[in-house]
Chains A and B, each alone.
Chain A
Amino acid sequence: TNQLPTEKPLNLQILSDLAKSALVESLNEVMPIHQSSAIADEKIQGAKTLILDPGLAGPLGLVTDVALLKHQAVDKIFWLEPGPLNVSTRNVVWLCRPKMSHMKTIAEQIKAQQSTVSPNGPLVYTLLLVPRATELCKKVLEDEGVAGDLTIGEYKLEFIPVEEDLISLELDNVAKDIFLNGDDTPLYYSSSALMNFQRAFGMFPRIMGKGDAAKRLTNLLQRHCQSGEEHYSDLELSTEVDGLIIIDRSVDWVTPMCTQLTYEGMLDEFIGIRNAHIEVDPVLIDPQNTSNTTTGQPPQKKRKHHLNGQKDKLLGEIRDLNFAVVGTRLSKVARRLEGDYGGAKNLKSVSQMKAFVGRLGGLQGEQQSLKLHTGLTEILMPITRTEDFNKSLEAQQNLVAGYDLPSQLNTIDDLMAQQAPWAIVLRSLVLMSIASGGIKPKILESVKRDFLQVYGYHHLPLLISLEKLGLLVKSPSSAPQPFPTLRKSLRLVVDDVDDTKPNDISYVYSGYAPISVRLVQCAVQKNAVLSTGMGVDGDEGKREIQKAHPLVGWRGFEDVLGSIPGATVDIRQRLEGSRHEISREKETITTVVFFLGGCTYTEISALRWMAKQVKGRKFVIATTGMINGTTLLESFGDPEPVPLVSHQR
């Protein structure tokens, strides 16, 4: 067999270690500043009460655990929520995102605490903002009159390694901030995180990107380099990373609107993955609990389970597959495991027995993970058979292909009449608007009117937001609509894709190739965009895996890039005087793909599949957070209305 050279991935663990040590450092910097006490230099390293922003719990859980916190003298942990404090330690530490509402809560809590006398003497307050203390927050605290009572610090939680090839800032609502509200704070966080990435792995020799926000981010990165700041000035060009490709979400709204069809994508769509965790029935993950059908117990509370492809090899194997083939793969594994266990009968000698017992632990682990994924597949399978799922999927695929729009509108209308989940309907409507360059004014108004009647008038702000973003507009629209031309120039719709033996990235949506990932291909796998996928089936075994071509910019695709609204970026970062070439002999080079505004699991799957098609190039996927069409749409709307209280009974 053809032995591939060992392609060692970039060691991202380093980022996780950095995040951890930064947390420890921040917590230990909690030094009391005694203003009332005379002994100013007394250091109280004592116990702390930690008050945590619930929105940070998930991301934080990926870099640390409670044990580490306890080790740092954290006595108790509370959620940050309005209401009085109940602390028994002298040190109080808040750890939260720089949000106005949080600042107000904290100010209230300090004021309330100060009016009562504590048995421990005056309390010492520290506020750690993640990842940065903003001027606005400081201003709010000043206005509330508590700025002098607390020490403000920062905890730079940046890229969190979620998988071997995936790092995420785990920020929420980035697309809304940047593209709807015009708030570039997340750009600043991203630039800072990417600078620290470069400190760890060297400077990106080349930065490419598409989209106005991508351009602004590139400018920020360059400004950091030129700022003369000490820790950025001695950066050398990386020898392991050949470049950074920034795809800004506004370049491709189509992809997240489509229903993801990979295993992990489906889990996210229909069960929900947050911060790499999924909530499942404890029966599926508890090794002791083999069946719950015996007792009539009330259903147990769902438990969080960490999805990780390194710890769970089976997940690593199936997560990027099209869901259509997951069942077959699972039953193969089941049969193999059965055989392995069956091997116990044929053990003849003590040494054989010993070897078998040694493997038992591994087998049990595998069995456990097989049980989990079979269970999850059993949840997803019936969903794929529902009419809602199949009708909306068919409509989506036809819309993307630009096929018979009036009948798709009819399907959407049917879905509404039967009250399919609102997000399914709206995602299809957005697809229709993008794919056909807007919807006729009369039709659009009536469909919006029906939508509000069926799902509630509280969605009106969401519809307005979508109009502002150009995602649900009337035709002829003022903005250029590039999708119909892109369909051809980027070969977005592929008819002959085989879910079992994919020959193109479009397998992740059973026939639609994500624009975002096609753009990455324009930069790193030029012929994959052009080729028609022919000649792959016949001589697959013999086909030599080609070596990746170097990152040479958008050459050959300038027209395509030009047809998409938004700036195109292609710059080289070269230090003055020094010439730098990455030697062609180097076995593996890594390209970082950064999704500004979030990415979907399917896009990750597509990139992973791409990396396997050539040798010599790996990807690290970086993102501001994980999204899907539903979470994206939800972020563009107002919060759900609170239930009404009827006050006259």
Chain B
Amino acid sequence: LALEEAGASADGEERIDKLRVAAKAFGEEKERAFEAKMADDAHRLLALQTAYERELDHKFSFAGLSVNDFISALLLAGFGKRAERVRADWKVGDKRWWWLKLKSYAKNKDWDGLEAF
């Protein structure tokens, strides 16, 4: 399966391509609508992660993180706006979002943020 190949390739661009192939393959089967959507999400995520890395002059490494870890990395680095965008694009539920916020405040020792929370 293209998914396994995607996991085995260390090259970001190559993995994005493989994920696109996987999403397409799932899309051809009616029963696999969910998997197609997920593979597409995975592909979009990786693309966004590499885009952000480029925007931020490769000072950070986001590629390969899960949605949760990506948001928390963005929050920790102080890119609240970008984190909000990921939250909206991936429709992250309130409960998870607030836990991520809370943990990032605690990690950054941002007591004011915690207070406001």
A residues in contact (CB < 8 Å) with B: 413-414, 416-419, 445, 448-450, 452-458, 460-461, 464, 638-649
Complex Cα spacing A578 to B67, Å: 68
The answer on a CB contact under 8 Å between A642 and B7 is yes
Q: For the A-B complex with A460-B35, A644-B10 known, give 5 more contacts whose Cβ atoms are closer than 8 Å.
A: A417-B96, A453-B92, A457-B45, A458-B7, A645-B12
Indicate which residue in A417, A456, A640 contacts B95 across the interface (CB closer than 8 Å): A417
The answer on a CB contact under 8 Å between B7 and A640 is yes
A454-B66, A457-B42 known; A638+B3 contact, CB < 8 A: yes
The answer on a CB contact under 8 Å between B11 and A647 is yes
The answer on a CB contact under 8 Å between B64 and A461 is no
A-side contacts of B67, CB under 8 Å: 452-454
Tell me the nearest residue of chain A to B6, going by C-beta. Answer: A641
B-side contacts of A457, CB under 8 Å: 38-39, 41-42, 45, 66
A-side contacts of B93, CB under 8 Å: 417, 450
Is B99 close to A, CB under 8 A?
Answer: yes
Is B1 close to A, CB under 8 A?
Answer: yes
Query: What is the count of residue pairs linking A and B with beta-carbon distances less than 8 angstroms?
Result: 88
Complex Cα spacing A8 to B99, Å: 58
Is B108 close to A, CB under 8 A?
Answer: no
Indicate which residue in B10, B38, B63 contacts A449 across the interface (CB closer than 8 Å): B38
Measured CB to CB, the closest approach of chain A to B45, in angstroms, equals 7
Complex Cα spacing A649 to B56, Å: 12
Interface class of chain B by DSSP: helix
Tell me the nearest residue of chain B to A474, going by C-beta. Answer: B34
A-side contacts of B63, CB under 8 Å: 644, 646
B-side contacts of A644, CB under 8 Å: 10-12, 15, 63-64
A457-B45, A460-B42 known; A642+B10 contact, CB < 8 A: yes
Indicate which residue in A416, A638, A641 contacts B96 across the interface (CB closer than 8 Å): A416
Complex Cα spacing A327 to B76, Å: 41
Q: List B residues 59-98 near A (Cβ within 8 Å).
A: 61, 63-69, 90, 92-93, 95-96
Report the 3 A-B pairs with minimum CB-CB distance, sorted nearest first: A457-B42, A641-B7, A453-B67
B-side contacts of A458, CB under 8 Å: 7
The answer on a CB contact under 8 Å between B95 and A413 is yes
B-side contacts of A638, CB under 8 Å: 3-4, 7
Complex Cα spacing A458 to B11, Å: 15
Measured CB to CB, the closest approach of chain B to A460, in angstroms, equals 5
The answer on a CB contact under 8 Å between B7 and A639 is yes
A-side contacts of B92, CB under 8 Å: 453
A-side contacts of B34, CB under 8 Å: 445, 448
Measured CB to CB, the closest approach of chain A to B93, in angstroms, equals 7
Measured CB to CB, the closest approach of chain A to B66, in angstroms, equals 4
Measured CB to CB, the closest approach of chain B to A474, in angstroms, equals 10
A450-B93, A641-B8, A642-B8 known; A460+B61 contact, CB < 8 A: no
Tell me the nearest residue of chain B to A454, going by C-beta. Answer: B68
Tell me the nearest residue of chain B to A457, going by C-beta. Answer: B42
- Interchain Cβ contacts under 8 Å between A and B, 8 examples: A417-B96, A449-B38, A454-B96, A456-B65, A460-B35, A461-B4, A644-B10, A646-B12
Q: List B residues 1-52 near A (Cβ within 8 Å).
A: 1, 3-4, 6-12, 15, 34-35, 38-39, 41-42, 45
Tell me the nearest residue of chain A to B65, going by C-beta. Answer: A456
The answer on a CB contact under 8 Å between A450 and B96 is yes
The answer on a CB contact under 8 Å between B11 and A645 is yes
The answer on a CB contact under 8 Å between A453 and B66 is yes
A453-B90, A453-B92, A644-B12 known; A460+B38 contact, CB < 8 A: yes
Complex Cα spacing A460 to B37, Å: 11
Measured CB to CB, the closest approach of chain B to A411, in angstroms, equals 12
The answer on a CB contact under 8 Å between A464 and B11 is no
Measured CB to CB, the closest approach of chain B to A478, in angstroms, equals 12
B-side contacts of A417, CB under 8 Å: 93, 95-96, 99
Tell me the nearest residue of chain B to A419, going by C-beta. Answer: B68
Complex Cα spacing A500 to B10, Å: 52
Measured CB to CB, the closest approach of chain B to A104, in angstroms, equals 15
Complex Cα spacing A458 to B8, Å: 11
Complex Cα spacing A456 to B66, Å: 4
